[in-house]
């Protein structure tokens, strides 16, 4: 288990925000039957969670900046540190009463992500990582899966939804992955997908159209668990791209090859 002062600050902030989300999720389940629907309520829950995170982190590290899903970029006096915050990853699941969503917080120092926390609020699973110190799930060290044959593997993905680009291109990717693996899963929370790669539940994962708050903490976890993370072209800087590919060494390479084949088929 990581017991640094930084991790204590991050976990405390996440747990404060989680209390509100857990309460609000119970209310969303009741709102499913209302005529108005839960959309406005969920937006409020999202903002309340972000406010709780920001207040707790600012109290502990008042000079750090923020990159937040709801409130955007907030510059801090300390230009070398920024928090990347997704207060509710899996909003659509939350909206529909599906108990699969999380809070994700990462710390960037000098353009490098050095710490991450992902908390599955309903399952009470806490994923944590610090650069060079490994990663843990509820005090148990995480390692990526050891499978080497992609025919035995389960891959995870994020499917482009309404308003997203390149649906035909994605479908070519998906069809090729389906032909070469034992299964594909789409759960609807990118941060948890990456955390599940890090702890070996998934063998690999890919998605496009993500932001830093979606992937910063999870990408660190995969790497600290012995895995590989890149964009769809194999480049390391996933912040500079809008795609991510993650897995152990063999699965990461296999998935990159499959995506390359899909691109060639569309050329």
Which CATH number is 5-141 given? 3.30.540.10
Secondary structure letter of residue 240 according to DSSP? G
- Over residues 192-219, the pLDDT tens digits come to 999 999 999 999 999 998 999 999 999 9
- CATH fold, domain 150-266, is D-Maltodextrin-Binding Protein; domain 2 (3.40.190)
Length of the chain: 267
Residues at the annotated binding site?
69, 86, 88-89, 214
Task: Average the pLDDT over 6-30 and give the result.
Answer: 91
C-alpha–C-alpha distance, residues 60 and 37, integer Å: 37
The strand pairing partners of 154, in sequence order, are 183
What is the per-residue pLDDT across 66-115, written as a single tens digit (0 to 9) for each? 999 888 899 999 999 999 999 999 988 988 889 999 999 999 999 999 99
3-state secondary structure of 205: strand
Q: Is 124 exposed, middle or buried (0-12, 13-18, 19+ CB in 10 A)?
A: exposed
Task: Show me where the domains of the chain are located.
Answer: 5-141, 150-266
Binding-site entries for Mg(2+): 69, 86, 88-89, 214
């Amino acid at each position: 288990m990581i017991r640094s002062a930084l991790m204590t600050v991050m976990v405390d902030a996440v747990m404060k925000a989680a209390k509100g989300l857990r309460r609000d999720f119970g209310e969303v389940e009741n709102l499913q039957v209302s005529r108005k629907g839960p959309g406005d309520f969920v937006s409020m829950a999202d903002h309340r969670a972000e406010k709780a995170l920001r207040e707790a982190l600012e109290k502990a590290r008042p000079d750090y900046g923020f990159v937040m899903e709801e409130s955007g970029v907030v510059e801090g006096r300390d230009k070398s540190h920024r928090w990347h915050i997704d207060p509710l990853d899996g909003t659509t699941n939350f909206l529909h009463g599906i108990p699969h969503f999380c809070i994700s917080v990462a710390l960037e120092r000098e353009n490098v992500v050095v710490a991450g926390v992902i908390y599955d609020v309903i399952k009470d699973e806490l994923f944590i990582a610090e650069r060079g110190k490994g990663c843990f799930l509820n005090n148990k060290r995480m390692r990526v899966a050891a499978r080497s044959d992609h025919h035995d593997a389960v891959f995870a993905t994020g499917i482009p939804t309404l308003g997203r680009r390149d649906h035909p291109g994605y479908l070519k990717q998906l069809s090729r992955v389906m032909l070469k693996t034992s299964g594909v899963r789409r759960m609807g929370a990118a941060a948890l997908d990456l955390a599940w790669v890090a702890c070996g539940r998934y063998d690999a994962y890919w998605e496009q159209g993500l932001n830093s708050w979606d992937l910063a903490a999870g990408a660190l976890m995969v790497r600290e668990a012995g895995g590989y993370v890149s964009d769809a072209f194999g480049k390391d800087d996933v912040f500079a791209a809008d795609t991510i590919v993650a897995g152990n060494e063999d699965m990461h390479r296999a998935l990159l090859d499959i995506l390359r084949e899909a691109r060639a088929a569309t050329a």
